[in-house]
Structure 1
């Protein structure tokens, strides 16, 4: 029977020393038809192992749902790793961070945890939304542990039957993730919680070594693990120094950097983060020369498709971009970069590397698209709306069981109300009065008030969750309108709110978008622009659709110059968010989504100079710090 063990100084594969040279590749950020290509390219870099997180909320959008098919087929992904002759490391959380929505924790966990805390059940702690999270989550709380037990029972059997001990690829499984960085949990409760996770993991047949990973910091390493679990560290520079820190906390056994940060993620409104190939190569060389094992984070970042991006909030809320290129050795579309070749040369000094490099892709097709069909959001709300909730106080998105995306709120205001003030908006709201624009409330800009026109009418707020916080004490906070909503005269009551199923807009709005020149109003606009209706600026919130012919199966890069902010779909698949705020200037369209004749749909929230878009030859991820 094959074995993988933690020896006195080395990992031991079938009793022989084995240096793990791994790379992080998240199956949930890559189209499944491209998994094999990315895994093969990782092998050509010189890796012998692939690591992946498992995002709980990706598989369990509701408590009674669990999906392991299609893009969620972790078993198939691990089988492809094995077919390429590589090993695997699985990190199932329950919390993963990963710049992923909510750090992978399902949003439906938190309302029940809050109610339990307020009712005195569970841990008996009262939830404090000012601190962000709900009592019980990432703690030794019966309700949370019961949910994890159900999650593990659904997920881990497919991992168990693919362990190295059964002839499969899986060498190790992680327990929790960077737990030493999570604040507010007493040490004795930390240990009890981690030990219960170990029990729940072993209960599902996992017999390979278990480990923890924490930042290479004395405080984090001292409180993030257990004496009986192997400790690994996360860092991206000063390898010799960081390995010495890890050795203080892991006196015996192999040293491993579980996240060697060879790049970094991007947030909307900031620059595109890069690290130099020479710097990454030098630090990797030091690490491998010391005999340590490594997991490149990331070997290939991929894309936050749909509405899956997370966010950080360390005083300012910053949602993560749709692109998760990460300045990794393999770019967002799988091309080898200068960093790939620099790291490959380093790995070749310490381990065998295949002679064959991955192919360099050519330029993508360039295509112009006219989005000549449109519909105002207000006109199609009945087609998108979920159940309407009526209440005196404005509900949160969580109250509406809207775990991501948009909701539409409305309430009556009077002529003397004068100003709108919300306790907090999470994360952005477009405000209108009887359909006329009033302004924007924005969490990132700390904008929580707006002057109102001096007239009575129906106030509407189109509220957008731009990504749940994935790190720190604000994990689990509710979304939507939080706290009282007031005017100069009173607290607003009589709210009506409904979730909007915008993710499914292409299917729900089939036939609802009309030609741009199909109305007297459009004809008047066209006449004002020389008879061309599709040369005129357009106002949002509105949907726009156009068709285009191109090379089926080819990767494409969508550029939306002149558009402001919104969502983009190709052939009904939600690519993600776009924003003129940058840094990202293009959206990646995986080749498997592309046919000979295609449909592009946009939800533009503000306005566009002209309803045209363009597919360009190469990605543009924006300006860098250099």
Structure 2
């Protein structure tokens, strides 16, 4: 497909002038059966390249176990891109941000109490070295120098916003080269961070969403010659729980894209197609207040979360057509949608009665963190016996990220990290009552200095000012629900509970699970974990990809952490991502 060259005034492809018009498409946020559909639509919009991060935490979930199976089959994703005439940019991190859990850094790194991420700490770099040594043999044949579509590889990710250790960046580049990466390397940084994140001898690119002339001038000030490239044009944005749904008009985003292309720059749209933070994969921000990110990664992208063209998609094609050839033919149409007005979830299982089939337990004087339990995501249930009856003040001094408090099986309060809450008053009904703390990991911080984000209970627990000892810590990753003992629901349920129901359909199609009247929890369809829901919004529906459905019977499971008005859900033809800021 051609080898990328770098000249004083731009890119070349096999020696001919080349402008990169790229869009981000994350294979790990899209069901693998839909990859080709998204690529065809990228090509029709006028893109010649697609860009993807590589999430370390998914490819090496346990230390030493590196793989690319099923939905993580990156080699297949790259091959499909080549089949569709698309070049590829790879961004392997090791840190990727991406509003992804922990910025893609695997949580098992945090078993080292004082490890320093994104540094020359030998414990961190040693883990990166081992990971790259297992990852790159799967990918080197996809490089353009070997006939593949991969034009270039990024070193780290917006490192200048975090640090300025050039030696760390050099070591990463050396690891890439040592593993056979012989295509051009590049860095990306925001305009103010270009000097801090640069690596001598490596192409610099800039990330921004507006102020084109100013941002490109900042790049040119740091890099007097060479291609001008915006490696992340933020044509939309992500959403936090409890905030509004962020949008950007097609007209404004298209005008900015036009200005950039008129200036002669290459561009990578962030995002072309956002996709979904399925399961427990969404990240969080913390600049003094913890802010978890929603399940949808629609990002107000040109291609919607369900892969449908938007007005922004058509506006971008029109802009691109002014500067580069675009394919002929009619625009792609929106895909069919499944509508089921009502599905009643008729059976249930209380979570606190089901812990024996959901995870293992360890005893210790102090609560064990999620990382100490070898657990990446989900929940941890902490239990201890209280020997004295009567009123008491509970103080959970440090935790990540949300605590539901139970005494003798009854819910008595909730503590939230994002609201800086730590104490709750309760009454112990009798000596020997069990105090239970169900702690939810709502997503690890993915940006900034707070990324060393341990989960579960991370500090002492006090009762009336006295440290509580002798705890059972039970990991609840919720990665296997097959052992749950469901029974018909005959009365209102107290406490967290799984609800299950079955619907019958003729033809699978994309749809959106509506949980109106529910409070907070997670949802699965046929065992596929759709992600988190929360009445706090803005997101009110969960995207269900057609490939997870099947003709005939389909099982819906909802974990409700609090209560629901009625155990009924619906499948809608349109998403509800919440109110937008006007």
TM-score, normalised by the number of residues in structure 2: 0.97
1:353 aligns with 2:326: yes
Residue pair 1:430, 1:462 contacting (<8 A) in 2 also: yes
Give deviations 1:570-609, integer Å, cap 9, x for gaps. 0011111111110011100000001122000011100001
Structure 1 residue 474: Cα displacement: 1.0
Cα gap change, 1:433 to 1:454, in 2 (>3 Å): closer
1:429 pairs, out of 389, 392, 403, with 403
1:207 aligns with 2:182: yes
Structure 1 residue 366: Cα displacement: 2.7
Residue pair 2:64, 2:131 contacting (<8 A) in 1 also: no
SS of the aligned residue for 2:207 comes to strand
- Indicate the residue corresponding to 2:453 in structure 1: 477
- Indicate the residue corresponding to 1:42 in structure 2: 42
- Indicate the residue corresponding to 1:329 in structure 2: 302
SS of the aligned residue for 1:444 comes to helix
Residue pair 1:33, 1:592 contacting (<8 A) in 2 also: yes
1:381 aligns with 2:355: yes
Separation in 2 of the partners of 1:2 and 1:459? Answer: 64
Residue pair 1:306, 1:503 contacting (<8 A) in 2 also: no
Structure 1 residue 140: Cα displacement: 1.1
1:602 aligns with 2:558: yes
- Indicate the residue corresponding to 2:471 in structure 1: 495
- Indicate the residue corresponding to 1:229 in structure 2: 202
- Indicate the residue corresponding to 1:592 in structure 2: 547
- Indicate the residue corresponding to 1:161 in structure 2: 141
Separation in 2 of the partners of 1:252 and 1:231? Answer: 10
Residue pair 1:538, 1:611 contacting (<8 A) in 2 also: no
- Indicate the residue corresponding to 1:111 in structure 2: 111
Residue pair 1:365, 1:615 contacting (<8 A) in 2 also: yes
Structure 1 residue 347: Cα displacement: 0.6
Separation in 1 of the partners of 2:410 and 2:170? Answer: 57
Aligned residues: 577
Give deviations 1:497-523, integer Å, cap 9, x for gaps. 110131211x232xx10122xxxxx3x
Separation in 1 of the partners of 2:46 and 2:364? Answer: 59
Give deviations 1:138-197, integer Å, cap 9, x for gaps. 1112221111111111112232211111111000000000000114xxx4xx11111111
Q: Which runs of 5+ in 2 are unaligned?
A: none
Separation in 1 of the partners of 2:275 and 2:495? Answer: 30
1:192 aligns with 2:164: no
1:239 aligns with 2:195: no
- Indicate the residue corresponding to 2:339 in structure 1: 365
- Indicate the residue corresponding to 2:366 in structure 1: 393
Structure 1 residue 418: Cα displacement: 1.0
Residue pair 2:408, 2:435 contacting (<8 A) in 1 also: yes
1:146 aligns with 2:122: no
Residue pair 1:422, 1:484 contacting (<8 A) in 2 also: yes
Cα gap change, 1:2 to 1:334, in 2 (>3 Å): closer
Q: Which runs of 5+ in 1 are unaligned?
A: 115-126, 128-133, 517-521, 526-536
Residue pair 2:407, 2:428 contacting (<8 A) in 1 also: no
Separation in 2 of the partners of 1:589 and 1:539? Answer: 28
Cα gap change, 1:538 to 1:556, in 2 (>3 Å): farther
Structure 1 residue 212: Cα displacement: 0.3
SS of the aligned residue for 1:207 comes to coil
Separation in 1 of the partners of 2:38 and 2:82? Answer: 13
Separation in 2 of the partners of 1:404 and 1:156? Answer: 26
Structure 1 residue 101: Cα displacement: 0.4
Q: How do 1:178-189 and structure 2 match up within 5 A?
A: 178-183=158-163, 187=164
Residue pair 1:417, 1:488 contacting (<8 A) in 2 also: no
SS of the aligned residue for 1:50 comes to strand
- Indicate the residue corresponding to 1:438 in structure 2: 412
SS of the aligned residue for 1:418 comes to strand
Give deviations 1:480-538, integer Å, cap 9, x for gaps. 11211112141111111110131211x232xx10122xxxxx3xx4xxxxxxxxxxx54
1:415 aligns with 2:415: no
- Indicate the residue corresponding to 2:442 in structure 1: 466
Separation in 1 of the partners of 2:574 and 2:171? Answer: 48
Structure 1 residue 616: Cα displacement: 1.1
2:517 pairs, out of 562, 573, 582, with 562
SS of the aligned residue for 1:288 comes to helix
Separation in 2 of the partners of 1:348 and 1:320? Answer: 35
Separation in 2 of the partners of 1:152 and 1:423? Answer: 38
Structure 1 residue 401: Cα displacement: 1.4
Give deviations 1:285-309, integer Å, cap 9, x for gaps. 1100011000000000000011111
Residue pair 2:337, 2:511 contacting (<8 A) in 1 also: no
Separation in 2 of the partners of 1:489 and 1:144? Answer: 38
Separation in 2 of the partners of 1:97 and 1:165? Answer: 28
- Indicate the residue corresponding to 1:543 in structure 2: 498
1:90 aligns with 2:90: yes
Separation in 2 of the partners of 1:2 and 1:313? Answer: 42
Separation in 1 of the partners of 2:483 and 2:286? Answer: 34
Structure 1 residue 477: Cα displacement: 2.1
SS of the aligned residue for 2:189 comes to strand
Separation in 2 of the partners of 1:397 and 1:421? Answer: 19
- Indicate the residue corresponding to 2:315 in structure 1: 342
- Indicate the residue corresponding to 2:250 in structure 1: 277
Residue pair 1:416, 1:489 contacting (<8 A) in 2 also: no
Structure 1 residue 255: Cα displacement: 0.6
1:257 pairs, out of 222, 230, 236, with 230
2:527 pairs, out of 572, 575, 595, with 572
Residue pair 2:376, 2:477 contacting (<8 A) in 1 also: no
Residue pair 1:266, 1:272 contacting (<8 A) in 2 also: yes
Give deviations 1:237-260, integer Å, cap 9, x for gaps. 111111011111111100100000
- Indicate the residue corresponding to 2:424 in structure 1: 450
